[in-house]
Amino acid sequence: MRMRIDVVTIFPEFFGVLDVSLLGKARQSELVETHVHDLRDYAAFKADGSPDVHRTVDDAPFGGGAGMVMKPDVWGKALDDVLKPTGVLVIPSPAGVPFTQALAAELSEAPQLVFACGRYEGIDARVAEHYAQDGYRVVEASLGDYVLNGGEVAAVAMIEAITRLIPGFMGNAQSIVEESHADGLLEYPSYTRPASWRGLDVPDILLSGHHARIAEWRHAQQLERTRERRPDLLPPAEGGAW
Ligand code: ADE
């Protein structure tokens, strides 16, 4: 089955990046098709039906406060047009659930993903609520604990993480199984030739040819790295800080 990805944004030109790199390859191989839509195309008329020459997509927040909020009527028109019955609505937001490898794997099985990229202070909260009420899966997801200017960069990162998990996309499926986060641990360190470089030697065990001992060493390295860099990923019994 071919995955369809739609992106709705006020910066459609930003998504030219989808044409290059691995993702460009996946599109050529027809595992995935992408469609980018300009949100302003849905802002030609105001909520009362009169023309809006400015194609306004945002307005001041009810209750006051800084910044602007994206209008639900404009988003409603765009999403009614773009979302298919089996589509999943993904809204990148610093207030979302963490975007993890497990979530990427789940989303890689959806027939259609629609990324709604908000700017300013986000999208009127009723948009997510409305499509969830309508029976769609709605995922508000955050890339990490920092704030970007909008959802565009986050959408590109999520699209890359998701599409590389589509079966047939990566040349070497084993590299997906072994990489960081696939088993809840960080990946072990990797080395290639030369065995000695600027006074630094590749660990002897990797040159030994003992496959079982190499696997054991790599697992120990995974645990050590994870303990040091990401204790939040480990239970206390493994030296972590769950
Ligand atoms: N939009 C702004 N900041 C974001 C973040 N950290 N993750 C996802 N979307 C965002």
Between the two ends of the chain, the Cα-to-Cα distance in Å is: 38
For a mutational test of ligand 1's pocket, the pick from 97, 147, 158, i.e. the residue with the most ligand atoms closer than 8 A to its C-beta, is 147
Average pLDDT for 43-72: 96
Residue range 194-215: mean pLDDT, rounded:
98
How confident is the model at residue 196, as a pLDDT?
98
pLDDT of 241 reads: 76
What pLDDT shows up at residue 172?
A: 57
Per-residue pLDDT averaged across 87-99, rounded?
98
Ligand 1 centroid distance, CA of 92 (Å): 6
Q: Residue 230: pLDDT band by 50, 70, 90 thresholds?
A: very high
pLDDT 10s digits, 154-165: 999 999 999 999
CA trace torsion 2, 7, 11, 15 (10° rounding): -20
Tokens of 92: 């990148």
**Which of 7, 70, 93 most suits a substitution to test ligand 1, by most atoms within 8 Å of the C-beta?**
93
CA 195 to ligand 1 center in whole angstroms: 41
Is residue 146 in contact with ligand 1, taking CB distance under 6 Å?
Answer: yes
Bond into 94 cis (ω within 30)? no
Instruction: Establish whether residue 153 lines the binding site of ligand 1, counting it when its CB lies within 6 angstroms of any ligand atom.
Output: no
H/E element, 176: helix 173-178
Q: Among residues 140, 16, 120, which one has the least CA distance to residue 59?
A: 120
Question: Residue 187: what pLDDT?
Answer: 95
Mean local confidence (pLDDT), 187-196: 98
Q: What percent of the chain has pLDDT over 90?
A: 81
- List the one residue out of 67, 4, 5, 6 whose CA is nearest residue 42: 6
Which is more confident, 136 or 172? Answer: 136
pLDDT of residue 27: 67
Determine if ligand 1 sits within 6 Å of the CB of residue 93.
yes
46 pLDDT above the threshold of 90? yes
What is the rounded distance in angstroms from the CA atom of residue 139 to the CA atom of residue 132?
Answer: 9
Q: What is the pLDDT of residue 154?
A: 98
What token pair was written down for 44? 């030609």
> In this structure, which residue's CA is closest to atom 5 in ligand 1?
94
Q: Whole-angstrom Cα distance, residue 181 to residue 112? A: 25
Question: What average pLDDT score do residues 25-30 get?
Answer: 71
Residue among 67, 48, 47 nearest 59 (CA): 67
Answer yes or no: is pLDDT of 112 > 90.
Answer: yes
- DSSP string over 2-60: -EEEEEEES-GGGGGGGGSHHHHHHHHTTSEEEEEEEGGGG-SB-TTS-B-TT---EEP
Angle CA 174–179–182, to nearest 5: 95
- Quick check: CB of 10 below 6 Å from ligand 1? no
Ligand 1 binding pocket includes 9 (Cβ within 6 Å): no
One-letter amino acid for residue 193 of the chain: R
Find out whether the beta carbon of 147 lies less than 6 Å from any atom of ligand 1.
Answer: yes
> Does the Cβ of 151 fall within 6 Å of ligand 1?
yes
Question: What pLDDT is recorded for position 28?
Answer: 66
